[in-house]
Amino acid sequence: MNITKVTIENYKCFNGKFTLAPNKGLNIIVGDNEAGKSTILEAIHLALTGLLNGRYLKSELTQYLFNIETVNDYVKNISEKKPANLPHVLIELCIEGEDIALFEGDGNLDKKKDYGVSFRICFDEKYQAEYEELLKAGSIKTVPIEYYDTVWTSFARQGITARSIPLKSALIDSSSSRYQNGSDIYISRIIRENLEHKEIVDITQAYRKMQEVFMDEKAIIAINDKIKTASKISDKDVKLSVDLSSKNAWETSLMTYLDDIPFHNIGKGEQCIVKTKLALGHKKSQEANIILIEEPENHLSHTKLNELIKSIKENLGVKQIFISTHSSFVANKLGLDSLILLNDSKTVKRKHPVNHVLQG
C-alpha cells in the first residue's frame, strides 16, 4: 500500500496548488532552504494522522498554517472592500493497495474518481452570521481563525480518523531537540511508546516508592518542619515533595542516559543517530507503510552519516520512504534514481545530481 499522488494547496510555503507523484519505494526530496522539503513530509503526516509537531491540529489551529501570500491577498481585498475568498488549506493523498474500497470517490480537487484522503482547514459555515458582522465592523486584519475547523474525509466524502485510514506513517525528525526538565521529549516519547502497559505501571509504582523514600528521609522531614514553622504563605501545610500530580509524572522527571551521560549532554551527531535508530526500531515504524525522515545529515560527519544510511537501508524493508535532504552524500548513497528536485513549488525527477541544488 502506498501514496500515488500528493496535493498541497495554500499550506505554509505552497501558494496555490502543488502536486507530487512519488516513487513507490524510495523518494529523496532535495532543494534549497525554504523550498518546502520538510513541509511536504509534514503535510503527508498531517493528512494521515491529524498530528502536527506531535499534537492534534484540530485544537492547535493558527493563521501561520496558511500561505502568507494567500492571507495577504485576503486581507488586502477586505481592506479595499473587494470580494474576498476566505483562505483555506487542503492536503490530498491518492492511495493504492488492498482493502481501500471505502476510500473511493470523486471528493477531491480534480473531481475525478480515485482512492484517497482529504484533510482541509477551512471556514465553518455555522459561523457565517458572525463573520458577516465582523466584515461590517471592518475589523478584520488577519484570518479569523476562531471560525475555522478541520475537515477530514475520504474521497467518498465520509468522515475519517487516523484509525480508519489503512495507510500508517512514522515521521522521524532526528535533528530537533525539545527539552522538558532536561529530558528530550522526542526520545522519551519513543521509549515510552515501546513499553507495554504493565511496564509503564511498574515505572509509575517505582517512581511513587521513590517519592515515599524521599518524604521519609530525616533531613526532608526536618526541612519541612522548618518550612511549616516559618511559612506565612498559607494556613495550610507547605512542604517540599516529589511531583506526583499525575500518574505519568515520571515522564517529565526521569532522564535518558547513554553510558551514564545525560542524553542532552552527548554530541548532536550521536543524538541524531540514536533518535533515528530508535524510531526505526519502534513498533509504530515497523507497522507503518510510510516512513518520513527529515534531513538525516544534520550534525553528522560522513562516517556517522554513512552508518545512519546503512541503518536506514537495513531496517526499513518494503515501505514507501520519503527523505528530505540537501546533502549530495545522502542522495548518492541512497540512489540517484530516487531523486526528486524541488524548486519554485515544482518537482522534477532526475537520475543525475545537480550541483547547485545538492550541497554536501
At residue 345, the pLDDT reads: 64
Looking at the fold, whether 138 and 76 belong to one and the same domain comes out as yes
Least confident piece of the model among 16-30, 94-108, 124-138, 230-244: 230-244
235 & 97 share domain: no
Residue 84, in any domain of the structure: yes
Residue 69 — pLDDT band, cuts 50, 70, 90?
very high
Q: How much is the average pLDDT of 49-63?
A: 88
Last residue of a domain, one of 254, 272, 294: 254
pLDDT of residue 356: 40
Percent of the chain with pLDDT over 70: 80
In a domain, 11, yes or no: yes
Give residue 15's pLDDT: 94
Amino acid 352: pLDDT: 47
Q: Mean pLDDT of all residues in the chain?
A: 82
Q: What strands, in cross-sheet order, belong to the sheet with 26-31?
A: 169-172, 290-294, 320-325, 26-31, 339-343, 346-350
88, 226: one domain = no
Read off the amino acid at residue 280: L
Assigned domain for 41 exists = yes
Whether residue 115 is contained in a domain is answered as yes
User: Looking at the domain assignment, is residue 353 inside a domain?
Assistant: no
User: If pLDDT is split at 50, 70 and 90, which confidence band does 175 have?
Assistant: low
Mean pLDDT of 46-64: 90
pLDDT at 218 over 70: yes
For 255-302, how does the pLDDT look when each residue is reduced to its tens digit (9 = 90+)?
Answer: 777 787 877 777 777 777 777 776 666 666 666 788 888 887 776 777
Burial profile 201-230: b = 16 or more Cβ within 10 angstroms, e = fewer: eebbeebeeebeeeeeeeebeeebeeeeee
Give the tens place of pLDDT for each residue, 34-50: 889 999 999 999 999 99
User: Is the domain of 163 the same as that of 86?
Assistant: yes
Report which secondary-structure segment, H or E, holds 37.
Answer: helix 37-49
Helix, strand, coil content of the chain in percent (nearest 5): 40, 25, 35
Radius of gyration of the chain (CA): 25
88 or 214, which is more confident: 88
Q: For residue 183, how far is the Cα from the chain centroid?
A: 19
pLDDT band at 247 (very low <50, low <70, confident <90, very high): low
pLDDT of 359 strictly over 50: no
What separation, in Å, do the N-terminal and C-terminal C-alpha atoms of the chain show?
A: 33
Single residue among 193, 224, 254 that ends a domain in this structure: 254
pLDDT of residue 184: 53
Do residues 14 and 125 share a domain? Answer: yes
pLDDT band at residue 161 under the 50/70/90 scheme = very high
49-58, 125-134, 158-167, 231-240: segment of lowest average pLDDT = 231-240
pLDDT of residue 360: 40
Global pTM reads: 0.77
206 and 159 in one domain? no
Give how many domains the chain has, as a whole number: 2
pLDDT at 76 exceeding the cut of 50: yes
pLDDT band at 115 (very low <50, low <70, confident <90, very high): very high
Distance (Å) of CA 138 to CA 63, 141, 145, 148: 19, 9, 16, 19
- Which range marks the domain in which residue 247 is found? 183-254
* CA–CA separation, 304 and 273 (whole Å): 8
Segment among 43-52, 184-193, 214-223 with least mean pLDDT: 184-193
**pLDDT over 90 for what percent of the chain?**
36
Q: Let me know whether 139 and 196 are in one domain.
A: no
Cell (9 digits) for 348: 522534477
* Spatial distance between the Cα atoms of 179 and 177, rounded to a whole number of angstroms: 6
Write down the pLDDT at residue 125: 96
pLDDT score for 241: 75
- pLDDT one-digit tens code per residue, 326-358: 777 777 777 777 788 887 766 666 544 444 444
Q: Is residue 93 part of a domain?
A: yes
Q: Are residues 148 and 192 in the same domain?
A: no
